[in-house]
Chain A
Amino acid sequence: MKKLEKLSSIKDLPEAPISNVPSLNQKTGTWRVFRPEVDKDKCIKCSICWRCCPDIAIDVDEEGFPIINYDYCKGCGICAHECPKTAIRMEREGK
């Protein structure tokens, strides 16, 4: 069945309350108070930061460096804390 987007009236609803729209439309990055900044010089491309992100907001590029997806990163700081080389710094948002 088609994705349930652009719902404007009861006529657009399925008969039962089913959901099939990925939550990607909710940009939880707006929750952030601190943002992680990666220092590529220190990074050893271990991908531990990718592994420990509860929001799956870290991806890894072809070279192996982490790419933070700031649309979804909530700034919890786990990646910075877990990085074995302290290559991720938490900066105050809006500085």
Chain B
Amino acid sequence: MVKKIMTGDIAAAWGARLSRAEVIAAYPITPQTIIVEKLAQFVSDGELKAEYLHVESEHSAMAACIAASQTGARTFTATSSQGLVLMHELLHWASGARTPVVMANVNRALAPPWNVWVEHTDMMSQRDTGWIQFYAESNQEVLDTIIMSYKLCEDKEIQLPAMIGLDAFYLSHTSEIVDIPDQDSVDKFLPQYDPMYPLDIENPLSIGSLSMPHQWYSEFRYKIQEAMERVIPKLNQIEEEFYKEFGRKYTGPLELYNTDDAEVVLIVSGAAAGTVKETVDIFRKKGIKVGLIRLRMFRPFPSEELNKALSKALFVGVIDRSFSFGHEGAIFSELKASLYGVKHSPPIKNFILGIGGRDITTDTISRVYNNCFNCLKNNKIDNPVEWIDIRV
């Protein structure tokens, strides 16, 4: 175990290296480029024994990863924004074919206009693809989650792909202290990939043929949902094992910060959670009861866990660093749906923040909390979906 200062991109590369990824097929895109460059360096130096494919697009990157995974190799790829959405067709394919591909996605805004800074719309717009989705808050979490994801995805009861989101520049290019676990410990925690249905000339089978409405298509799709329902309990188990091996504790799909007695709770994903935590501390010093739920896992959506965590909140502010045009923020929609019909269903408001990488400061969050308190006091939500940091 070695402590080093490194950016999120480097941490992601380390995650893939420690997991002994065997086939890496990726296409460069800012701000993911350092991940693929570092991995290329590891392979060139002989420190990572992998086949490194200089694929000619993200679409081919995902195609190669799916195929390599089905052949029996552990695969890794990384992308961002335009690259992720280019892969969209194959994201559906990866989950439909039940391949445990693990991917790091640097969350970046979508064009036009061109913008390489942080936004979650790229990953949010892939939420229907059947992938497990994580949003990391720190570079350590990026590295750790990649390793845990392989263990989760390759489990015979799961067999789903996972993507780990890390904020553009705030994580990808910002240095933090990261603990690099030693290879032997990771090998102990994460054994070699044992594919469920490898392509094998001794036992030939075909993967992915036609299935008609009256045949088995519906059932296969239902099985994907059944697997998703097994993810959270499995994640909790894996995090327990991770803690025993590496001493770092993760708390499942949510991270709760001062929520026990909080009157107003904010929900946020990604690195901005750090700023919210600072603001919570500021408010708490003044005796104001606020809290934060950091949504670490978005798919499967942790309805039960969220409902429980909000069981005493008087007001909920959902911060979405993304938007679903024609409707509202994704986390907001999904949380409202999960609170529907629940005995304690607090009033809830959507704050759209940080679009296109616009900075989220403690001032912004203070405004958000104050706005929530106002709404609570007046017993009226002023604007259910508010783009609070645009210049009106």
Mark A residues whose CB is within 8 Å of B: 1, 7, 10, 13-20
Assess whether B205 is in contact with A20, with CB atoms less than 8 Å apart.
Answer: yes
A1, A15, A19: most-surrounded residue (chain B CB, <10 A): A15
A-B contacts, 27 listed (Cβ < 8 Å): A1-B197, A1-B203, A7-B216, A13-B216, A13-B220, A15-B98, A15-B159, A15-B196, A16-B98, A16-B196, A16-B197, A16-B207, A17-B96, A17-B207, A17-B209, A17-B211, A17-B216, A17-B220, A18-B197, A18-B205, A18-B206, A18-B207, A19-B206, A19-B209, A20-B203, A20-B204, A20-B205
What is the total number of residues of chain B having a CB less than 8 Å from a CB of chain A?
21
Q: A20 near B206 (CB under 8 angstroms)?
A: yes
Q: In the complex, are the beta carbons of A19 and B205 less than 8 A apart?
A: yes
Cβ proximity bits B198-232 to A, threshold 8 Å, 1 near / 0 not: 00000111111101000010011011000100000
Q: Which residues of B contact A17 (CB under 8 A)?
A: 96-97, 207-209, 211, 216, 220
CA distance A5 to B196 in the complex (A): 19
How many whole Å from B100's CB to the nearest CB in chain A?
11
- Chain A facing B: main interface SS: loop
Chain A hits for B209, CB < 8 A: 17, 19
Q: Which residue of chain A has the shortest Cβ distance to B207 in the bound complex?
A: A18
Give the residues in chain A near B223, CB-CB below 8 Å.
10, 13, 15
CA of A14 to CA of B198, assembled, Å? 13
Q: Mark B37-64, 1 if CB is under 8 A from A, else 0.
A: 0000000000000000000000000000
Interface of B is mostly: loop
User: Could you say which of B204, B205, B211 has the most chain A C-beta atoms within 10 Å of its C-beta?
Assistant: B205
Q: How far is the CB of B263 from chain A (nearest CB, A)?
A: 45
7 more A-B residue pairs beyond the given contacts A16-B98, A17-B209, A17-B211, with a C-beta to C-beta distance below 8 A: A1-B203, A15-B196, A15-B223, A16-B97, A16-B197, A17-B208, A18-B206
Which chain B residues lie closer than 8 Å to A19 at the CB level? 205-207, 209
CB distance from A11 to the nearest CB of B (A): 9
> Cβ of B222 and Cβ of A10 under 8 Å apart?
yes
Q: Which residues of A contact B203 (CB under 8 A)?
A: 1, 20
Cβ contacts under 8 Å, B97 to chain A: 16-17
Complex Cα distance, B156 from A16, in Å, reads 11
Cα–Cα distance between A13 and B222 once the two chains are bound (Å)? 11
Q: How far is the CA of A7 from the CA of B220 in the complex (A)?
A: 13
A7 to B204, alpha carbons, bound, how many Å?
20
A20: B residues at CB distance < 8 A = 203-206
**Residue from A1, A14, A17, A18 having most chain B Cβ neighbours under 10 A:** A17
Bound: A7/B206 CA distance, A: 17
Question: Closest CB-CB distance, A50 to chain B, in whole Å?
Answer: 24
B208 — which chain A residues lie within 8 A by C-beta?
17
Q: How far is the CA of A16 from the CA of B221 in the complex (A)?
A: 10
Contacts of A14 in B (CB 8 A): 197
Most chain A C-beta atoms within 10 Å of own C-beta, residue among B97, B159, B206, B219: B219
